[in-house]
Structure 1
Amino acid sequence: MSVTVGDIVAYLKELAPLSLKESWDNPGLLVGNPEEPVQKVMTTLDVMKEGVAYAVAQGVQLIVSHHPIIMKGVKALRTDTYDGQLYQQLLSHHIAVYCAHTNLDSARGGVNDVLAERLQLQHTAVFIPGWEDALYKIVVYVPHTHAAQLRSVLGKAGAGYIGKYRDCSFSVSGQGRFTPQDGTHPFIGMPGKAETVAEERIETIVPGSRLSAVIETMVAAHPYEEPAYDIYPLKNEGEKLGLGRVGMLPKPLSGTEALHRVKEALGVQTLAFAGNTEVMVRKVAVLGGSGADFISQAKAAGAQLYVTGDVKYHVAQEAIKAGILLADGGHYGTESPVVPVLCRQLEQAAKERGWQLECLIDPTSRDMIQHLR
């Protein structure tokens, strides 16, 4: 089945809802037409000329980047500047760009979950809570003949998750009554004639971050012209979402051993650090990218080691005073692991949805900060 930029954007919004972005951020579809068809997509950390040239050579129609290609308002489009040439290159080859930034940092399975997995952290929790994903109950009425299909659709759209259980729902049989009016095209019955139909009431639970997508998918899959459904806000506690993760190592390590694990897991040539390497490390806090402002929170969380990027001199001094071991894996080093994961997620989504889509990883992507050895 063919797929458009808009189809992939809709999936990416399910994966990393825009509601999770920081107020200053600018994620979303920043270049291109949502109606354009896509056969190849490329994931990258940054949109740079070298990556775009590779995308052009490979016939890519959509680039999915972590860092936004446009962060602030564009006041001029001049092709004698780097950015102007970049935009010209993209537009002239009909390449769209979608960016998932701080929303992907906070999302399930995003930057910080990937970073925690790289370090083999267990029993992870959100490090800096920012949002609670409010829960809703969705109730829909459907003919018995289509109930199983609709339950399946709801589950695939993100409904029915309770803890580690999926496809959770409850059903009861009853009778639905309605009279189609003039101008309608009823699935069952005729305009002007009262109908009674054996129906099933399906109820399930939906996180607020997926509510719109679930409703849209449900309405599209429902056989009725005007599906009857109800949405109830719940007081049940939803999942906590936010920046960073904190978790436990499989076994305690010395500070030096823990730093070597971080260096190896990130695949970086050098690893800057500050603090006492003699400390025994069991609990670790991570925040991919730029998390130098959260030393005190890492200490309060009980972490012996804090892994982040973009650490400055006085932040290192603060970590030493706080008695916490600090590892600076770099902005690129702590965020780039999400790029291949994002590609695999797109491939899996394509497989589940029957899309004819190939995903590439930008081979030109590199750390902007280079080290002389």
Structure 2
Amino acid sequence: MSKAASGQYIISLLESFAPKKMAMEGDPIGLQVGTLNKPVKKVMITLDVLESVVDEAIEGDVDLIIAHHPLLYRPLKKLDISTSKGRVIEKLIKNDITVYAAHTNLDVTALGVNEWLANQLQLTQTEVLSTTYGDQLVKLSVFVPVSHEEQVREAIGNAGAGHIGNYSHCTFTSNGFGTFTPLEGTTPYIGKQGQLERTEEVKIESILPISIQKAVIASMKKAHPYEEVAYDLYPLLNRGNELGIGKIGKLPKEMNLQEFVDHVKKVFQISNVRVIKGNKSFIKKVAVVGGDGNKYIHSALHKGADVLVTGDIYYHNAHDAQEEGLTIIDAGHHIEQIMKSELKSVLENKLASEKYETVVVESNVKTDPFTFM
């Protein structure tokens, strides 16, 4: 008998690396139609929830659709099933298909849409283009008997503590002695009830983002031998990893504009792009924003980009960018479809590691509304 993951568990995997709190204010992410309180045998990943996508899901016996673009972006005033939107919702409910949207939280997260786009463009030395989210850091100090030093250190590191730049499991250890008296009703790992115990201990210190504090503490306590664990948490003024919209980085080698345009079309498998020509003859530093990049033109200029790769650029914004010397390649909003294969891979790996047999598939429906003629 196959072991199907619940909808809640699958979404917990998604939100473990793209939590809701990373989404931009007002973005209608999360559960949109249906329920997560059911076993899910098949998940389908899509960019858009169109009627043709829902028909595909029905034919494929899909239980859960995870979309990048919310189906219900604006509140509905009525549910008219003679309209396409109404028919979509009717079909979803009648066929017990749940829809969940992961939009700007999947854009902002470190390993999300914009990181995937930057990787496709082969950018190196990447950083966030426009910061929208920064995690508060805390310092953890835990007192451990020498016998369990490495066990506890590994547990907190595996849970995510001690990440500094490209280094993990960063800690500091100091030696000392701990004293305690086990009282009535205790079952001490070391010592006896009613007697003062003095034992050799180490203090392990590490830093962690507050967003994973509960998970780190839980792992620490599980690995620690003491009945009551002595530990301290200190809020820090240090800034954690900055996350946000877009990425900026460098190409492995300089290209002229035509070479770079060909590169963009090849990696995103598109036949046409709109180009706003700036004043740079060669392209080295590249900014990329999935979806609508109009708000990030000045961020690209401020960070010294030679070109911005994005979509949906407005006419007057194109003039402004050109006057400032910035080249823009409008490759279309639809380049965000990279999320289908990438998110599929992430969820498949996480489900397989827990021995679930839930199947994850990509939607094969073309949802780009534009045709070049």
Whether TM exceeds 0.5 here: the answer is: yes
Instruction: List alignment gaps of at least 5 residues for structure 1.
Output: none
Aligned-partner SS, 1:70? coil
1:301-333 deviation per Cα after TM superposition (whole angstroms, max 9, x unaligned): 111111110012112211221111110011112
Distance in structure 1 (CA, Å) of the matches to 2:162 and 2:288: 30
Identity among equivalent pairs (%): 36
Corresponding residue number in structure 2 for 1:166: 168
2:363 counterpart of 1:362: yes
1:1-373 to 2 correspondences below 5 Å: 2-140=4-142, 151-170=153-172, 177=180, 202-215=204-217, 229-276=231-278, 279-333=281-335, 335-367=336-368, 369-373=369-373
The letter for the 2-side match of 1:347 is E
SS of 1:134's partner is strand
**Structure 1 length-normalised TM:** 0.85
- Residues 50 and 88 of structure 2 are in contact (CA less than 8 Å); yes or no, is this contact kept in structure 1? yes
TM-superposed deviation, 1:370:
1.9
SS at match of 1:288: strand
* Residue type of the alignment partner of 1:64: I
CA distance in 1, matches of 2:230, 2:7: 31
Greater Rg over alpha carbons, structure: 2
| Contact 1:17-1:209 within 8 A present in 2 as well | no
Measured after TM superposition, the shift of residue 223 of structure 1 is 7.8
Q: Report the count of equivalent residues.
A: 369
| 1:327-347: CA deviation from partner (whole Å, max 9, x where unpaired) | 0011112x1112211111112
Worse overlay, 138-147 or 94-103: 138-147
Distance 2:345 2:330 in 1: 27
CA distance in structure 2 between the partners assigned to 1:240 and 1:330 by the alignment: 27
Return the alpha-carbon distance in structure 2 between the equivalents of residues 7 and 147 of structure 1.
32
Change (3 A) 1:180 1:72: farther
Whether the aligned pair in 2 keeps the contact of 1:304 and 1:325 (CA below 8 Å) is: yes
1:217-274 CA-to-partner distances (Å, cap 9, x unmatched) read 6667878887665432222231111111111111111112111111112111211111
Query: RMSD value over aligned CA atoms?
Result: 3.3
**CA offset at residue 97 of structure 1?**
2.2
Return the TM-score normalized by structure 2: 0.85
Partner secondary structure for residue 238 of structure 2: coil
Aligned in 2, Cα 1:312/1:199: closer, same or farther, shift over 3 Å? same
